[in-house]
Amino acid sequence: MRHRRSRWTALAAAVTALSLTATACGSDEPADSGGPVTLTMSAWSLNTTPEFKKLAEAFHASNPDVTVEFKEYDATNYDTQLTADLAAGSAPDVYVLKNLKNFITYQSGEQLLDVSDVAGGLGDGVNGLGNYKVDGATYAVPYRQDSWYLYYNKDLFAAAGVTPPAGAWTWAEYEKAAADLTAGLKAAGSPAKAVYQHVWQSTVQGLALAQTPGADLLSGDYGYLAPYYRRALQLQDAGSQVDYGTATTNTLQYQAQFGTQQAAMMLMGSWYVATLIAQQKKGDAQAFQWGFAPAPQRDASTKDKPVTFGDPTGLGVNAAIDEGKVAAAKKFLAFVSGEGGATALASIGITPATLTDPVVQAYFGVEGVPSDELSRFSFTTHDTRAENPVSPQTAALQNILQETHSAIMSRSTPVDEALKQAGERARSEVLESR
């Protein structure tokens, strides 16, 4: 989702030798006793996505005989380009699984090495690890686990005379705050909207799937989405948020909408914390006080452990890797998914899959990260459920629901009719053929 478009031809110069040495977690022995080893790893937007270089640098100290080189792909077309390279035998030794949507495609295509031994050594504290298990074997490990938060601008709340969240809100409390902000900002002469809702289907469908009891993407019954869509449309109609047509026609960017104070609230993934900090430092975002709270909840019963959503980002080993590189690749996976890699990621404001006390301390030690009690609670306490349940049907169903999202938010099709059509298509095009 955090994408920047670039041309496919940029891939011609994609292999970037960074001469970054890798290190295993806590070992002073070379990863492979046979001599120097060079691992290639997939990446995207290296100039603006620091996590890849940071992991390689953090992995540097103990294994000077292992060098990591990056093969850079276009962020938007990552899976398409990686799939082509895998088919051609030119894919890197280890590659990133951006989300769970296509994991099963790589696994069922026998393009991922079984790394159950790595997973077994990680323990139970790695969020999202179980999503990569198929028939008892594990084929990737997560190194980050993003969750969706409610970002809020404390200055705009103050200008509107509205009390910011002090804990997890229910959706009813969120709607009231949006109405109060709309009125208060208008009275204060501010052009800002109460809310910015980005155009992705995730902004509606992800939370609906996570929070609705019995909701199942693979069921073909999408009625659970209805109240979430009605709320989004009502906020548009009330003028509390930019309408979908305007956002798509003008290609609005969520970073600019919140970062230049065009909206007082925004639901977005935890990756945005690091982005906003960096943009405020560079001057690409305005200076204002902000924080993040849990995503609004279906009811008060989950306020103590808020339910949200987000797919892990994982790393797997190319099944076609040279046998002499396997040991180094597995040690690299163990590091990036463990406390060492997690601390390195936390130190630059990235949300890792492992959340131990040292990791939390590193995260909130980053200059610019909000250190208030609610932000800490949001980071450490949540029930994050997968946006893309692991199944061969997930990608096709999500494509149908993307079209449904556009039809509803643009008001070309009424909510109930669009969801009924989505269910019919899901059953006839995808589910009945499995």
Same structural domain for residues 120 and 163? no
- CA separation for the pair 91, 182 (Å, rounded): 50
The pair phi, psi for residue 319, each rounded to 5°, is -60, -20
In a domain, 229, yes or no: yes
Paired strand residues for 38:
67
Q: Which of 320, 355, 390 is the last residue of a domain?
A: 355
In a domain, 35, yes or no: yes
pLDDT for 178 beyond 70: yes
In a domain, 206, yes or no: yes
Predicted pLDDT at 65:
85
Same structural domain for residues 292 and 321? no
pLDDT for 5 beyond 80: no
What predicted TM-score, i.e. pTM, was given to this entire model?
0.85
In a domain, 414, yes or no: no
Predicted pLDDT at 270:
94
pLDDT for 432 beyond 90: no
Same structural domain for residues 175 and 101? no
- Of 13-22, 173-182, 361-370, least confident by mean pLDDT is 13-22
In a domain, 384, yes or no: no
Please, are residues 310 and 317 in contact by the beta-carbon 8 Å criterion? no
- CA separation for the pair 81, 167 (Å, rounded): 42
In a domain, 189, yes or no: yes
Q: For the segment 253-266, what is each residue's pLDDT rounded down to a tens digit?
A: 999 999 999 999 99
Q: For the segment 18-29, what is each residue's pLDDT rounded down to a tens digit?
A: 333 333 333 333
Predicted pLDDT at 225:
97
pLDDT for 290 beyond 50: yes
Q: For the segment 78-97, what is each residue's pLDDT rounded down to a tens digit?
A: 999 999 999 999 999 999 99
Please, are residues 193 and 254 in contact by the beta-carbon 8 Å criterion? no
Same structural domain for residues 45 and 129? yes
Same structural domain for residues 139 and 246? no
Domain that holds residue 301: 148-309
- CA separation for the pair 434, 392 (Å, rounded): 9
Same structural domain for residues 162 and 286? yes
Same structural domain for residues 138 and 174? no
Residue 128 sits in a domain of what CATH number? 3.40.190.10
Average pLDDT of the chain to the nearest whole number? 90
In the DSSP assignment, the letter for residue 382 is: -
Same structural domain for residues 73 and 39? yes
Q: Which of 113, 78, 114 is nearest to 96 (CA)?
A: 78
Which tokens go with 189? 């002469």
Sheet strands (E) in 124-233: 133-134, 137-138, 141-145, 148-153, 193-196
Predicted pLDDT at 57:
87
In a domain, 74, yes or no: yes
In a domain, 82, yes or no: yes
State percent of the chain over pLDDT 90.
80
Predicted pLDDT at 34:
61
The domain tally of the chain equals 2
Q: Which of 331, 355, 379 is the last residue of a domain?
A: 355
Q: Give CA separation, 39 vs 72, 324, 325, 392, in Å.
A: 14, 11, 7, 30
Predicted pLDDT at 124:
75
Describe the chain by its helix, strand, coil percentages, rounded to 5: 45, 20, 35
Same structural domain for residues 97 and 184? no
Predicted pLDDT at 434:
59
Q: For the segment 314-351, what is each residue's pLDDT rounded down to a tens digit?
A: 999 999 999 999 999 999 999 999 999 999 999 998 99
Residue 76's pLDDT band (boundaries 50, 70, 90)?
confident
Same structural domain for residues 26 and 134? yes
Same structural domain for residues 197 and 272? yes
Q: Which of 320, 336, 355 is the last residue of a domain?
A: 355
Which tokens go with 268? 């977005």
Same structural domain for residues 54 and 82? yes
pLDDT for 62 beyond 50: yes
